[in-house]
Amino acid sequence: MNKGKVYLVGAGPGDPRLITIRGMQCIKECTAIVYDRLASPRLLRYARPDVKRVYVGKLPDRHTMKQEDINQLLVDLALEGHTVTRLKGGDPTIFGRVGEEAGLLRKHNIDFEIIPGITSAISVPAYAGIPVTHREHASSLSIITGHESPEKLDRSIYWDKVTNATGTLLFLMGVAKIDYISKQLMKHGRSADTPVALVRWGTTPEQQTLVGTLGTIAELVRTRKFESPAIIIVGDVVKQREALQWYEKMPLFGMRILVTRARAQASDFAEMIEALGGEPCEFPVIEVRKPQESQHLQHIEACLKQAEGYDWLAFTSVNGVEYFFQYLIEHRLDIRKFYKARVAAVGPKTAEALEQRGIKVDLQASRYDAEGLLEAFEHVLQPGERVLLPRGDLARAVLPEQLRQQGIHADEISVYETVIAPLQEPIIIDWLKEKHIHMLTFTSSSTVKNLIKVLEQAGIEDPVALISQYPIASIGPITTATIESFGLKVTIEAEEATIESLTAALIGYNAAQRIEQEEK
């Protein structure tokens, strides 16, 4: 077997949108991807469905993989013939131990490329509203490791030269040594009034910024219990934060939101969350696909052959629209066969999906559920009329049953089915157990049921107990009823059963939480 190739890719500081184009290309083209918790799991959604995923973070039966083992893993994957993307936080060449990984690859004559990433040294201050250079304050900068013991720091850092060599000093991984670093800088010429900022977990929802001076910062760190990992910024550029901070002011800043929708539908919701400063954590627990059982397929075909006989086409979801038209294409059936039928939609998104296919709806529900559609039909349908309902296999029976009680001939066809999504990221399970998620969102009853099943499959003994630790956002009353049937409490419910309304509810919740924290 031919040897593969390894790409040592800088994934950026945490926000997945900060990866480079070349880094994204490596993710899309690789056959094996090696990652840890320093790289956003959202980046993995761009990988091929059949990619071999190796998580080198903490698992239930294993602590975080040692660096030596990671080095060997890259060699082994390449020797198996894989094209490997090794995702590393920040830039791999800045305290990223890329030299060790690349060195072992070279010893085995394995080709590799080092793909630079956006280093936390400049991006984290930027997300805190601090430019590391400024025309009036600093025209140069130094990046320094602060992770070592004071003795090692003194051997690796020439304090008398570094202290005033550049306008801005950036210390990575130095929170535990902040007292020593501050004293050394003041000892060698920096004023005690020199502004200092510490930014913790920059570019993520956990971002926290602490501002002081060289004379006060160590005490502030102690009293505020400010912990690593954080970047230390020393210099007058820190003064810009008051005017330039932006990230921490965004409506959903501070929220990592679990999105349980199907992967194909999650992107719109995730993009809304991102645009508002939150971090979507995509954990699709459902997958929507064409029915597999022959009886469903035969029933669909039989109903489509009766197209001319229907008085109404009633759609209750975007999925219903999309899969219905897929069947029309497969069966080479012209939509004009339904020439008698008027068209009803459960809500604006479903109506929009129809309009994108050149069909204007005749009737739209004011409430976005089956009961709302029944209300809309109340004075329109006549006994004896025929209605075709393209729906999913888990759709509630209330709509066809109520129509039949009114003398309407209602044909249901399951044009799609909902199953448990096959691929899950172990890092998300870690985050749920460690309370790194700030809100769970459910957009259907199936997302509730399947999240519980997925957690059970992952070895969680009591999934309901785990879920109960989190605030829960529901898209509407039907989903809320399912959530509450498991003994769980809904924190917020969307006013309308739409993603836009759910997002608005999240914004309101976050604003209230901020006010509450400020008042403490």
Active site residues: 36, 58, 173
Q: What whole-number distance in Å separates Cα of residue 451 and Cα of residue 421?
A: 10
Question: Could you please report the per-residue DSSP string of 178-237?
Answer: HHHHHHHHHHTT--TT-EEEEEESTTSTT-EEEEEETTTHHHHHHHTT--SSEEEEESGG
With a CB cutoff of 8 Å and minimum separation 6, the contacts of 294 are none
Q: What whole-number distance in Å separates Cα of residue 380 and Cα of residue 398?
A: 18
Count of beta carbons in the 10 Å neighbourhood of residue 485: 11
**Half-sphere exposure for 512 (CA within 13 Å, toward CB):** 8
118, 13 Cβ separation under 8 angstroms? yes
Beta strands in 73-220, from DSSP E residues, in sequence order: 83-88, 111-115, 141-145, 168-172, 195-200, 208-213
Q: What whole-number distance in Å separates Cα of residue 235 and Cα of residue 237?
A: 5
φ/ψ of residue 25, rounded to 5: -60, -40
For residue 442, which of 484, 487, 404 has the smallest C-alpha distance?
Answer: 484
Q: What whole-number distance in Å separates Cα of residue 333 and Cα of residue 316?
A: 21
Cα distances from 80 to residues 33, 77, 142, 386, 434, in angstroms, run: 13, 5, 41, 59, 35
φ/ψ of residue 420, rounded to 5: -70, 130
C-alpha dihedral, 314 to 316 to 321 to 322, nearest 10°: -160
At residue 252, the 3 state secondary structure works out as coil
Q: What whole-number distance in Å separates Cα of residue 303 and Cα of residue 305?
A: 5
Residue 436 backbone class (left: φ over 0; alpha: ψ -120 to 50; beta: rest): alpha
